[in-house]
Amino acid sequence: MRVEFVPAEKMPDGCNVVLLNVGGAHVVAVRERQMTEDLRAEVNELLEGVVACGLWPPHPVDTETPRSRPH
């Protein structure tokens, strides 16, 4: 699981964050300029620990369309 920046034109309207399945891995897609690079790096470290401890499944269960929550 990791956080990646995504250009605004590739994000669903009204969403800054969506959870995706990319090549069998969870990716938290964040709209560019909505999170700093330092924060992204820290969150990625945290997510590695969450997955390593078994608190989040290592592989996505749902491989369908990404779910989003417009603000």
> Which residues face 30 on adjacent strands?
5, 17
pLDDT tens per residue, range 5-57: 999 999 999 999 999 988 888 999 999 999 999 999 999 999 999 989 988 87
Residue-range definition of the domain harbouring residue 27: 2-62
Q: Is residue 15 part of a domain?
A: yes
Burial of 65 (0-12, 13-18, 19+ CB in 10 A): exposed
pLDDT of residue 28: 94
The total domain count for the chain is 1
Q: Is residue 27 part of a domain?
A: yes
**CA atoms within 13 Å, Cβ hemisphere of 44:** 14
Q: Is residue 69 part of a domain?
A: no
Q: Is residue 54 part of a domain?
A: yes
29's torsion region: left (phi>0), alpha (psi -120 to 50) or beta? beta
